[in-house]
């Protein structure tokens, strides 16, 4: 049945062009995959450092707040927290990493000055101030770690999707197209031999 198929030269030329375009797309996807891997590995090492810093900062903040509570009393600590006029805010906007949209997290009012804490220079406490500074650092580190974690998740999803597309092109699409090219090439050569044979028979008659 396959021998009844009569492809044309134009079909072969079009198929060769499609194979070349597909191979170019495959090469670009490989570059994207490798670039995303590099970005992921770099950010992952930074994320590990950030997490370690987050744990350390949290321990320092807990130590500072416990010390402030023990010396100044829990009521004074709660009053200082309530008196702060500004509250931390987080703004999330998109940014692009090699075609992948990831979140860019920016915080405002993450730190507060002595005047913003509403306690004044006289009514304040160095222990409460130290605790407030420690928690300001902790919030800043949390915002940074949150951005990194969200970015890593987005990159990982895109890496997996790109890897599947690369594998599909490498092991299925391109081999099937090349197999079709070989079949058409052989069929055209066979048709040419048949036509030559017919012409010879016609000439001999």
Residue 102 bridge partners (DSSP): 95
Separation between Cα atoms, residue 17 and residue 14, nearest integer Å: 5
Residue 11: which residues within 8 A CB-CB, separation 6 or more? 184
pLDDT tens across 151-164, in order?
Answer: 999 999 999 999 99
**CB 190 within 8 Å of CB 197:** no
Is it the case that residue 2 has pLDDT exceeding 60? no
Q: What are phi and psi of 87, to 5 degrees?
A: -120, 145
Q: Using CB atoms within 10 A of its CB, is residue 151 exposed (0-12), middle (13-18) or buried (19+)?
A: buried
**pLDDT value at position 124?**
65
**Predicted TM-score of the model (pTM):** 0.76
**pLDDT value at position 107?**
79
- 64 three-state secondary structure: helix
Class in CATH terms, 9-197: mainly alpha
For 70-155, list the strands marked E by DSSP.
Answer: 89-97, 100-108
Residue 18: which residues within 8 A CB-CB, separation 6 or more? 177
pLDDT tens across 34-80, in order?
Answer: 999 999 999 999 999 999 999 999 999 999 999 999 998 888 888 87
pLDDT tens across 75-112, in order?
Answer: 888 887 777 767 778 888 999 998 899 999 887 777 66
Separation between Cα atoms, residue 177 and residue 20, nearest integer Å: 10
- 6 three-state secondary structure: coil
Q: What residue ranges do the domains of the chain occupy?
A: 9-197
Separation between Cα atoms, residue 146 and residue 74, nearest integer Å: 30
């Amino acid at each position: 049945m396959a021998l009844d198929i009569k492809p044309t030269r134009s079909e072969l030329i079009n198929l060769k062009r499609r194979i070349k375009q597909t191979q170019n797309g495959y090469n670009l996807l490989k570059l994207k995959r490798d670039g995303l891997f590099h970005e992921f590995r770099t950010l992952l090492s930074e994320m590990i450092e950030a997490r370690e810093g987050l744990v350390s900062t949290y321990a320092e903040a807990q130590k500072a707040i416990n010390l402030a509570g023990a010396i100044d009393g829990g009521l004074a600590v709660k009053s200082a927290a309530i008196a702060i006029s500004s509250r931390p805010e987080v703004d999330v906007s998109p940014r692009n990493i090699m075609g992948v949209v990831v979140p860019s997290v920016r915080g405002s009012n993450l730190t507060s000055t002595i005047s913003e804490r509403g306690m004044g220079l006289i009514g304040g406490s160095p222990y409460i101030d130290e605790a407030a500074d420690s928690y300001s650092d902790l919030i800043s580190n949390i915002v940074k770690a949150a951005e990194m974690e969200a970015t890593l998740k987005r990159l990982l999803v895109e890496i997996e999707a790109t890897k599947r597309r690369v594998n599909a092109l490498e092991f299925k699409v391109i081999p099937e197209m090349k197999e079709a090219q070989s079949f058409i090439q052989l069929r055209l050569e066979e048709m040419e031999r048949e036509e030559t044979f017919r012409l010879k028979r016609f000439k001999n008659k």
